[in-house]
Chain A
């Protein structure tokens, strides 16, 4: 059995004793190196990997444990994301690079690694700056899917209700309801359909409503996946704000503000009223009372509190959001836990608990 691993200077194969048995070096060009590392990480076969595998074939190696995701019928391959042997090799890369002739000396290797790290870091900064736009698209798509799924399920319940109205009362969960109809079709396929008050339907009529149920169920599944995805992206884009008020509400604020930068630069009084622009304009034209909260209304601590406290609570939440978004935008460090504890303490005080 051999270990195969990729690092900044090439592809290496090591035996159980951690001795290098085969390797193929990358060209000494930082941009080229990063491209190759990206390629292997995404499962593409690069020349250096081919080189090493050919050598392993010649050595009659059968089993490979590797941190590179690749397929090859000639070997039995086990993929391990955190390969200890690979990590250890990387820790000694300065010496190894000189030993295998990748760099003339430590000095040359340091210069090379510095360039690699500069490129990597610039790329990381570039990506994290743009990813808020991705989060905004995803949350908008999710909100649309919410609308669509509501309309689809309403139609499905009404339509299938003609045939088997009792099911609607029994199964309140929309996702489950659409799944059941899409699987069973005719009410005869349910165990206790007898005595149903609905009308009988022919095969083509059943087929049509069944198909609608399948699409509806599909929308629910898609919505769930998209919701998980929003959570994932938001934890990356704005970990503090996401922890503070939940990733979805955080994403909606982001969408209303337009970007993380804009949100981070907003005073908390503006954040408190994000999403209440219409009410605010109405008030400024002399109609209606001033709004106390915008989209923050949907925060559980606001919506579940007595009406006369909501404004105060929204203000507390908004002022913590103003801090959390700044941390997300300017440093990226994680302090969400302490922010939330502090916010919850203040809310409790307002509620007199």
Chain B
């Protein structure tokens, strides 16, 4: 096991996080014991962040103790790995508006107390304005107005100099348009408010998806 980022381990072609709840799987991933520790495989076909890591993500803004605002938590596949990484000292505020997804996410929260569930629409950050300042904003909503939602949330919650990651699903913006053009437009829109660090296309793990990594410049 080689630690390639804080809390992220590589063995051969696969990556892992150290299991916060040994013995328990979250979405059917493989468990691996080594050196007295248990690791969970982080499957790039299931989690876009894992795909981004394998495709050469330059900066990994998570470590023990990081506070994260996560928009579009779904049932918690990616959230569970971030929960492994930030550990008990960190927090993940997990926003999800679908009740059906939330029911499953709540079961995960019961087992991992560093996840704080929030049933709300990410378009209305006022509803969870009690969250306060966070180190990182992560967004994966698959919505046509996803970049606008990110900007709104980052302005409200992201600390100056904090990083954000956003997954862009080209087909949810425009089905007919060339994905590359949509990525570029999203990137341009984000560049107006943020310093964009990297754009990573997720092929072959996810078709027509990319992740954009950036940093928040405090508004003057």
Contacts and interface: CB of A to CB of B under 8 A. Distances in A.
Interface of A: 7, 87, 90-94, 106-107, 110-111, 113-115, 117-118, 121-122, 124-125, 128-129, 330-334
- The B contact surface, by secondary structure, is mixed
Interface residues of B, number: 25
Contacts of A111: 88, 113-114
B88 A107 contact: yes
Contacts of B89: 106-107
A114 to B, nearest CB: 5
Interface string B82-121: 0000001101000001111011001001100111111101
Contacts of B218: none
A91 B130 contact: yes
Nearest to A94: B132
Nearest to B67: A94
A110 B113 contact: yes
A332 B103 contact: no
Contact of A87 (B103, B113, B116, B130): B130
B71 to A, nearest CB: 13
A107 B116 CA distance: 12
Contact of B99 (A93, A106, A125): A125
Interface string B128-142: 011111000000000
Contact of B100 (A121, A122, A330): A330
B103 A90 contact: no
Nearest to A330: B100
A92 B132 CA distance: 6
A90 B126 CA distance: 13
Contacts of A92: 132
Given A117-B109, A121-B119, 15 more contacts: A91-B132, A91-B133, A110-B116, A111-B113, A118-B109, A118-B110, A121-B102, A121-B106, A121-B117, A330-B98, A330-B99, A331-B100, A332-B99, A333-B97, A333-B121
Contacts, number: 70
Nearest to A122: B106
A43 B133 CA distance: 31
23 contacts: A7-B130, A87-B129, A90-B132, A91-B131, A93-B130, A107-B88, A107-B89, A111-B113, A111-B114, A114-B109, A117-B109, A117-B117, A117-B118, A118-B117, A121-B118, A121-B119, A122-B106, A124-B119, A128-B99, A330-B100, A331-B99, A332-B98, A332-B99
Contact of A110 (B98, B102, B114): B114
B130 A90 contact: yes
A84 to B, nearest CB: 11
Contacts of B118: 117, 121
A122 B97 CA distance: 13
Contacts of A94: 91, 132
B204 to A, nearest CB: 30
Contacts of B99: 125, 128-129, 330-332
B63 to A, nearest CB: 15
A7 B115 CA distance: 20
A315 to B, nearest CB: 25
Nearest to A8: B130
Nearest to B103: A125
A114 B133 contact: no
A314 to B, nearest CB: 29
Question: Which of the listed residues B99, B118, B133 has the most CB atoms from chain A within 10 Å of its own CB?
Answer: B99
Contacts of B113: 110-111, 114-115
A117 B99 CA distance: 14
Contact of B116 (A7, A114, A330): A114
